[in-house]
């Protein structure tokens, strides 16, 4: 599965239950208020893929210079969060939640 940099900047619409939307809005607000200091490093700036544990390579999107991390082995891709992440939108909140969940499912957070 090959994804080019331009594809990373496209948006998809998903249908979620109202309770999921409301919870994502709460996370978005909490991120805006509290910042990133409580988010695990393996979510914000990981060095290995949460799925296959291979090294992640940095890459940059052309449109807005957003930084992404991509696994060369399985194709997993995520936005790089961190100090530069000043604007939080619902997609950021959902993305962080999914990354946290993947880490928990595939073991890197449970190995602490």
The answer to whether residue 112 scores a pLDDT higher than 50 is no
Domain ranges of the chain: 39-105
Reading the block at residue 43, the tokens are 């979510």
Give the dihedral sign, CA 12/93/57/112. negative
How far apart CA 78 and CA 7 sit, in angstroms, is: 13
Query: Do 86 and 92 form a contact (C-beta atoms < 8 A)?
Result: no
User: Tokens in use for 53?
Assistant: 């544990």
Give the pair of three-digit tokens for residue 110.
Answer: 């449970």
4-38 confidence digits (pLDDT tens): 555 666 777 888 899 988 988 888 888 888 887 88
Query: Tens digit of pLDDT for each residue in 59-69?
Result: 877 666 778 89
């Amino acid at each position: 599965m090959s994804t080019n940099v331009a594809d990373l900047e496209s948006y998809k619409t998903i249908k979620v239950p109202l309770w999921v939307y409301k919870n994502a809005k709460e996370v978005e607000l909490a991120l805006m208020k509290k910042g990133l200091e409580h988010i695990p490093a393996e979510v914000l700036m990981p060095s290995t893929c949460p799925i296959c544990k291979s090294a992640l390579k940095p890459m940059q999107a052309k449109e807005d210079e957003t930084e992404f991390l991509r696994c060369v082995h399985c194709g997993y891709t995520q936005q790089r969060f961190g100090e530069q992440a000043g604007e939080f939108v619902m997609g950021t909140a959902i993305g962080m939640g999914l990354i946290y969940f993947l880490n928990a499912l595939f073991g890197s957070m449970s190995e602490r």
